[in-house]
Amino acid sequence: MTQLLQTLISGLGQGAAYSLIAVGFVIIFKSTHVISFAQPALMAAGATAVALLTVQVGLNFYLAVLVAVVAAAIAGLGIERAVLRPMVGKPVFIIAIITLGLDVVIRVITNRFIGADVRPMGDPWGLERWELGALTLQHRHAAALITTAAILSALYLFFRYSRIGLAMRATAFDQETSLAQGVNVGHMFGISWALAAALAAVAGVFIGAGSTIDQQTWYVGLKALPAIILGGLDSIPGAVVGGLAVGVVEALFATYQSTYLPFLGSNFSIVAPYALMLVVLLVRPYGLFGTPEIQRV
């Protein structure tokens, strides 16, 4: 039982980072109806910026995170305005392909800064932990869970009470009606990209915390895809639940798979989130919290 609880704690800590990336996916999808495949690259870019600012420049870690998050938001805003705004009205499939191209470009640029070696994140948590009886809680996992909860609470208040948040919700519900009511839909698209890029940067910090980043770090961001499929493409609560579930499933397979399912081979925990995604697609194509699409025939 102790091992199971410890595995769940570790999985939730890792899943918190996946949740932040997944929420970014959902915010962009709800406003533009496009899945942005650039999120993993933005996550890696944010993590790289923090690593460079803390270790090479010597900036305070928390100040470095703030600088990286603001820079990521500005980058997301610029990408939407320069690359995606001219594509408004074009098929979403084409725009999704463009985001794939953006992902490659951002990764190539980021990898030039990372170089051939691994880079320490320079975070204050490392692998330090609290002893909770027979259980342990790593500082980085506690920080990830607390930060994710704080960000989600702020997003809830933003979308529910702020004028911009309400305008973004209206845009997500019906773009043409929002435009007729005076909402600048283009600005809402830009804000969506800025929010998603900022969330990706924060997630990147926790992906690299207690470890290092390298040219393959972006790959971790792809685990947010099973999360949004599990939770539903248009559901922010679903993205959070999906991210945490992916982290837990990954941790469970890493702990128990070699004992109970050895025929699956080693390191099956890496592909376990995608296997979960396939199962969800077969059973519930719109995810646990997604909105089923109804088409009249």
In a domain, residue 252? The reply is no
CB neighbour list of residue 238: distance below 8 Å, 6 or more residues apart? 26, 228, 230, 231, 232, 287, 288, 289, 290
Number of domains in the chain: 1
The model's pLDDT over 69-117, given as tens digits with 9 standing for 90+, comes to 999 999 999 998 888 888 877 888 888 899 999 999 999 999 999 888 8
The pTM for the full model equals 0.91
Cα–Cα distance measured from residue 100 to residue 116, given in angstroms and rounded to the nearest whole number: 23
Which of 28, 144, 138, 46 lies closest to 92 in space, CA to CA? 28
Beta pairing class for 129-132 and 135-138: antiparallel
In a domain, residue 202? The reply is yes
In a domain, residue 291? The reply is no
In a domain, residue 194? The reply is yes
In a domain, residue 12? The reply is yes
Ranges assigned E (strand) in the chain: 119-120, 129-132, 135-138, 212-213
- Which residues form the domain of 154? 1-224
In a domain, residue 27? The reply is yes
Backbone angles phi, psi at 295, to 5 degrees: -115, 130
In a domain, residue 256? The reply is no
Cα–Cα distance measured from residue 86 to residue 273, given in angstroms and rounded to the nearest whole number: 35
In a domain, residue 270? The reply is no
The model's pLDDT over 169-215, given as tens digits with 9 standing for 90+, comes to 888 888 888 888 888 888 888 999 999 999 999 999 999 888 888 88
Backbone angles phi, psi at 129, to 5 degrees: -150, 160
